[in-house]
Structure 1
Amino acid sequence: MSVARLTCDEFLAGVGELADLLVDTVDAGASVGFLAPLRRAEAAAWWRGRSAALSAGLLAVWAVRDEHGIVGTVGLAFAESPNSRHRAEVVKLMVHPRGRGRGIGRSLLDAAERGAAEAGVTLLSLDTETGSPAESLYRSAGWVRAGVIPDYAAAPSGELRPTTLYYRRVAVTEVREHAPTR
Structure 2
Amino acid sequence: MRVLRWDATQVRDGAAELAHLLTDTVAAGASVGFLAPLDRSRATVWWRERADGVARGELAVWVAVDGGDRTDADARAEDAGFGRVVGTIGLAFSTLPNGRHRAEVVKLMVHPSARGQGLARSLLTTAEHTAAATGITLLHLDTETGSPAERLYDTAGWTRVGTIPDYATNTVGTPRPTTLYYKRLDPLPG
TM-score range, shorter chain: over 0.9
TM-score, normalised to structure 2, is 0.90
**Equivalent of 1:107 in 107, 114, 122:** 122
- Residues of 2 paired with 1:80 and 1:89: CA distance? 11
1:74-113 to structure 2, matched below 5 A, reads 74-113=89-128
CA 1:174/1:41 → structure 2, altered by over 3 Å: closer, same or farther? farther
1:1-182 to structure 2, matched below 5 A, reads 1-66=1-66, 67=68, 69-174=84-189
- Residues of 2 paired with 1:144 and 1:166: CA distance? 5
Deviation, 1:26, is 0.2
Local SS of the residue matching 1:135:
helix
Local SS of the residue matching 1:50:
helix
* Kept after mapping to 2: 8 A contact 1:117/1:174: no
Deviation, 1:58, is 0.5
Residues 81-127 of structure 1 show CA distances to partners (whole Å, capped at 9, x for unaligned) of 00000000000000000000000000000011011111110000000
- Residues of 1 paired with 2:138 and 2:113: CA distance? 31
CA 1:10/1:150 → structure 2, altered by over 3 Å: closer, same or farther? same
Deviation, 1:12, is 1.6
Residues 128-157 of structure 1 show CA distances to partners (whole Å, capped at 9, x for unaligned) of 000000000001100000000000001001
More helix by percentage: 2
* Kept after mapping to 1: 8 A contact 2:11/2:50: no
TM-score, normalised to structure 1, is 0.94
Deviation, 1:174, is 4.8
Alignment RMSD, CA only?
1.0
Greater Rg by CA: 2
Aligned match of 1:179: none
Deviation, 1:8, is 1.8
- Residues of 1 paired with 2:60 and 2:125: CA distance? 14
Gaps (5+ residues) in structure 2? 69-82
Aligned match of 1:178: none
* Kept after mapping to 2: 8 A contact 1:126/1:165: yes
Following TM superposition, where does structure 1 have runs of at least 4 consecutive aligned residues deviating by more than 3 angstroms? none
